[in-house]
Structure 1
Amino acid sequence: MGMQVNTNLAANNSYRNLAATQNDMSKSLEKLSSGLRINRAADDAAGLAISEGLKSQVGGLTVASRNAQDGISVLQTAEGSLGEVQSILQRVRDLAVQAGNDSNNADSRTAIKTEVDALGKELTRIAGSTNFNGTKLLDGSATSLKFQVGANGDLNSQIDVNLSGANVTAIANALTGGSISAAGTSFAIADITALTTGAATFTSTSGGVTTTVVTAALADTADGSAASFQSVEEYASALRSDASFSANFSVSVSKDANGAGNGIVVTALDGGSVGVTSPDGAVGLAAGSASAALTGGVRFDTAANAQASITLIDSQIKSVSTARAELGANQNRFESVVKTLAISKENLTAAGSRIRDTDMAEEMVKFTRSNILTQAGTAMLAQANQSNQGVLQLLR
C-alpha cells in the first residue's frame, strides 16, 4: 500500500464509524430523556400509527367514564325527587281512603281536599324545580336523555335513558284536574233500565292515539238482578268492578239537584278525552261535555268519588314506582359502565405503553455501548490522522 497525503482512508473509515456511533448515542439520549421509544414517525412508523389510535381511545374512555358518572348523578337527582313524589301520593291515597268513609261530613271532606290541593301544588313545584345543570328532569320537557359512555361515534357508545314515565307535572295535573287530566267526560243516562248487563266499549284519545277498552259482560251485583240496572250507582259500580275498565278509567256518578244519579263521569287515567261507542244514546247513554261543572282530578265529595280517586291515585303510584325502577336499573347500568371503562382504559394504556414507551434498562445498555464506541472511535480517529506523519521523514 502506498503512502498518500490527500486521501487518508483509515481516517475516513474511523470518522464514518464515529459518526454512526454518535448518531446512535444521540437517539439513545433522546429516548432515555423522554422515556419514549417513539419520538418521531421515523423511529417506528407503524408503531406510531397504532399508538396514536390507542391514545385516542384512552382519552375518549377517560371522558366517557366522567360522562357515566355524571349520568349516575342525574339519575340520583331524579330518583330522589321521585321518592318524595311517591311519599306525597301515599299521603293523598290515605286521605282518599279516609274520605271514602261516610262518617265525614261536608266540612271534613273539604278539609281533606284542602290538604290534597296543597300536596298537588307541591308536586307541581317539585316538577319545576328538579333539574341538573339547568336541565329539568321531571316536568315532562325532557322525555329522554342521551349519555356518551364510549370512546367511539357508534350507537354502542351511547345510552338513552327514558324519562317519559317520570313526568310529575302530568301526575300533579291528574290529581288536581289540570290540562292533562281535565275534568273527565260526563255521560247522561236518560233511561237506566235500557242499560243491559252486556259489554260496554270506551275509548281514550291522548296525543293523537286512541285506546279502546271493551269490558266483560257487566253484572248487576248490587241487588242480585242480572237482567238490568236499577240505578246509575249500580252501573258505575259494575264498571269499577271490571278489570279492563278500572285499569284505564275511573268513574263517578253525577247527580241532579235532588241528589239522584242522572249520569256518570268517566276520566281516562292517561289524561285523554273519553268517548263511548257501546252502549250508545239509543240505549240511554249519551255523551255530554267535559266542560260540565266538575272539579276533575281526585274528588272526595262522596264516598263513591273517593273510591274512584283511590283507583286514580293507585295508577299514579304505580307509574312512579315503574319510573323509579327504570331509573334505578339505569343507575346500576351506569355503575357497570364505569367499571368496564376502567378495565378497558387500563388494558389499552398497557398496550400503548408496550408500543411507545422506552425500556430504560435495555436503552441504557445501548447508550453505554455507544458511549464506549464513541470514545474508542475518537481515539482511533486521532491515531488514523497521525498515520501519515511518516511521509515527513521522506521530505527531510
Structure 2
Amino acid sequence: MISLIQTAEGALNESHSILQRMRELAVQSSNDTNTESDRAELQKEVDQLSQELSRIGNNTEFNTQNLLDGSFEGTFQIGANEDQNLTIDVKDMRGQELGMAGASEFSETVTASGSTELVDGTYTVDGTDLKDSNGNVIATTTDNLTFTSTGTAAETIVFSQKIEDGKITIQGGEATATAKFDNGGLEAGDYTINYSAGASTITDSNGNLVASSADDTIFKNADGDTVLTLDAAATTDMEISVGGVDISSQSAANSAITKINDAIETVSAERSKLGAYQNRLDHTINNLGTSAENLTAAESRIRDVDYDLAAA
C-alpha cells in the first residue's frame, strides 16, 4: 500500500515541477517586452507541458490501476479483524481538471468570393469588424460566420463555425481562420471529429473514442458530460486541437498566473494528503509489529507454563 502511495506521490512531484515551469512562462509572457511572435513560442511550450500533465494523469498506474485520473478509490486492510481498514481516494490530477487545458480550436480554410476588395493579407477580427494592419475596416459581419467586404463589390467569406477573434489570412482566393469553442472536458492534444450523419464521434490522436454526438453538434463523453459544442453541425471530418492555458497576450498571461497558482495549490494539497496517509501507515506498521512481537512473547509464556504444569 505504501508503494502505491509513493507511486502516486512521485508522479505528482513531476506534475508540480511542470506547473512551476508553466508559471515561469506565464510571468515571462505577461511582460510587454515580448512580441506577439515571442508569446507564440512561449505558448508552444505551455501547450506541450499541459499535454504532459494529462499524459502523467492518464498513464500513472499501480498494478494496472490508474491512480491520477480521478477513478481510484481503494480500501486497505490494516488490522487482523473485520472493518479494520482504511479508505484512500486520489483526485483527478490531469491538466483539464487542474484548469490547464485551453479552448478547443478548429482551423478552417474556405473560398473568398473575390480578390478586388478582399485582397491577400492577414486581417484581425475585432468584434463585428475585419480590419487590416492599419486599422481600416475591410469587411463586417453580423453573425461571425459571413464576412462581407465594405466596398461596392460586396465580396464574402463564409465559414461554417464562428470566427469571433484572432486572425483571418487571405491567400490565393482562400481564407483561413481558427474557430474557438469552450472546452468542457478535452485534455490538451489533437482530436478528430469523425463525421457520420447523426452519429459523429471524437477520437484522440491514438484513435481512442473520447465522445459521441447524436446531432453532430453536441459531443458527450461516456459519463454523459458535454465536452464540446460546435457553432454549427459538422458536415465533414474536422481536426480539433486543444492547447494549454492561454498566455498568448499580456492580459491572458496575467490571468494565467492565478490559474496556475490554483493548480499548484491543488496538487500540493493532494501530495500533502498522500504524505499524511503514508506517515499514518508507517505508524500503523510499527504498531502492528509491536503487537505481533507481544503476541509471540505471550504465546511463548503460555507454552512454557503448559510445559511446566505437565512436568509437575
- Identity across aligned pairs (percent)? 40
* In 2, Cα distance between equivalents of 1:124 and 1:294: 14
What letter corresponds to residue 136 of structure 1 in structure 2?
N
Paired letter, 1:148: Q
* Residue type at the aligned position of 1:309: A
Show the counterpart of 1:147: 76
Find the aligned partners of 1:121 and 1:153 in 2 and give their Cα distance: 43
Of 75, 96, 110, the residue aligned with 2:5 is: 75
Question: Corresponding residue for 1:115?
Answer: 45
Amino acid at match of 1:127: G
Number of aligned residues: 195
Q: Residues 279-305 of structure 1, C-alpha deviation per residue, up to 9 Å, x if partnerless? A: xxxxxxxxxx97579977511221111
1:162 counterpart = 2:89 = yes
Provide structure 2 residue ranges, at least 5 long, that are not aligned to the other structure: 106-126, 128-163, 168-180, 188-227, 232-239
Deviations 1:309-343 (A, max 9, x none): 11111110000000001011111000010011111
Conservation of the 8 A alpha-carbon contact between 1:124 and 1:172? no
Match of 1:102 among 8, 29, 32: 32
Give the 3 Å change call, closer, same or farther, for CA 172–111 of structure 1 in structure 2. Answer: farther
Matched, 1:342 2:289: yes
CA RMSD of aligned residues (A): 3.5
More strand by share: 2
Aligned residues of 1:120 and 1:176 also touching (Cα < 8 A)? yes
Contact 2:78 2:86 in 1 (8 A): yes
The letter of the residue matching 2:251 is A
Q: Which has the larger radius of gyration?
A: 1
By percentage of residues, which structure has more helix?
A: 1
Which amino acid in the other structure matches residue 134 of structure 1?
A: T
Task: Return the alpha-carbon distance in structure 2 between the equivalents of residues 295 and 134 of structure 1.
Answer: 28
The answer to whether the 8 A contact 2:11-2:56 is kept is: yes
**How many Å separate the matches in 1 of 2:283 and 2:19?**
32
1:352 is displaced (CA, Å) by 3.0
Q: 1:176–1:298: 8 Å Cα contact kept in structure 2?
A: yes
Q: What one-letter code is carried by the residue in structure 2 that aligns with 1:298?
A: V
Residue aligned with 1:95, SS: helix
Highest relative contact order (Cα 8 Å, sep 6+), 1 or 2?
A: 1
TM-fit CA distance, 1:355 = 3.2
- Give deviations 1:50-79, integer Å, cap 9, x for gaps: xxxxxxxxxxxxxxxxxxxxx211111111
Change (3 A) 1:112 1:172: farther
Measured at CA, do residues 308 and 342 of structure 1 come closer, stay the same or move farther in structure 2, by a change above 3 Å?
A: same
Give, in whole Å, the separation in 2 of the partners of 1:256 and 1:114.
17
Give runs of aligned pairs for residues 1-396 of structure 1, distance below 5 A. 71-142=1-72, 144-154=73-83, 157-164=84-91, 167-171=92-96, 174-177=99-102, 298-356=245-303, 363=310, 365-366=311-312
Please give the secondary structure, in 2, of the residue aligned with 1:159: strand
Q: Show CA shifts across 1:13-62 (max 9, x none).
A: xxxxxxxxxxxxxxxxxxxxxxxxxxxxxxxxxxxxxxxxxxxxxxxxxx
In 2: Cα distance, 1:113 partner to 1:322 partner: 27
Per the normalisation by structure 1, the TM-score is 0.43
